[in-house]
């Protein structure tokens, strides 16, 4: 699929990508609707969580990681980014404050070879400048103009849900994982089909 995307010149020489997570409803009735109706039961408190790395230029989903929410977004970055790099050589990676940690900057830049990581700074309740190298760089020289490109992953998530739905039909976690991955594959094939 990604060889085809390169042949169509959808993936440039120095690709930019963003990482983000979204929740998919495990029931036909959305949690938001139930909340508005006052039906706040424990039955609806867990959902399937999809973490994706999206390529900015083509809006292809380069990697997908499925888990159960609610949980912290941060632990899902390493497997999602490692998987993405097997398909696309990411030059610059964007993420929101949920992914802000020195370990993530170090992993992406030193170990995985990503030239630049731009994560919104999570001050953790302290206005002081962070003491670690990469987080201090983000504090002192945050590239606001470049960071505006992070909306690309929001657009991908919105399009995925609008075209393929935001609720899952499967009942077990394993089947929901398969359903999420099939939706990601279908979404990518749709992009390649309409590009040709």
For residue 16, the cross-strand partners are 92
DSSP label at residue 131: S
The pLDDT tens digits of the residues spanning 16-44 come to 999 999 999 876 556 566 666 676 655 55
* Lowest model confidence (mean pLDDT) among 50-64, 89-103, 118-132, 158-172: 118-132
The pLDDT tens digits of the residues spanning 97-132 come to 999 999 999 999 999 999 999 999 888 777 788 888
DSSP label at residue 98: G
pLDDT band at 75 (very low <50, low <70, confident <90, very high): very high
Tokens linked to 60:
């292809």
CATH code that applies to domain 2-195? 3.30.420.10
CA angle 174, 179, 184 (to 5 degrees): 125
Any idea where the domains of the chain sit in the sequence? 2-195
């Amino acid at each position: 699929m990604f060889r085809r995307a390169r042949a169509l010149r959808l993936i440039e020489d120095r690709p930019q990508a963003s990482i983000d997570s979204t929740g998919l409803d495990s029931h036909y009735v959305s949690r938001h609707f139930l909340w508005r109706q006052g039906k706040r039961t424990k039955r609806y408190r867990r959902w399937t969580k999809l973490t994706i790395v999206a390529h900015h230029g083509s809006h292809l989903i380069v990697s997908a990681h499925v888990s159960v929410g609610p949980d912290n977004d941060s632990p899902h970055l390493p497997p999602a980014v490692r998987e993405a790099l097997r398909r696309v050589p990411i030059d610059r990676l964007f993420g929101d404050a949920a992914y802000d940690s020195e370990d993530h900057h170090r992993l992406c830049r030193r170990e995985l070879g990503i030239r630049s990581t731009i994560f919104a700074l999570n001050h953790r309740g302290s206005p002081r400048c962070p003491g670690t190298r990469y987080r201090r760089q983000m504090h002192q020289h945050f590239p606001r103009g470049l960071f505006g490109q992070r909306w690309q992953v929001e657009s991908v998530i919105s399009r995925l849900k609008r075209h393929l739905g935001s609720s899952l039909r499967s009942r077990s976690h394993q089947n929901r994982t398969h359903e999420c991955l099939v939706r990601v594959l279908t979404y990518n094939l749709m992009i390649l089909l309409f590009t040709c």
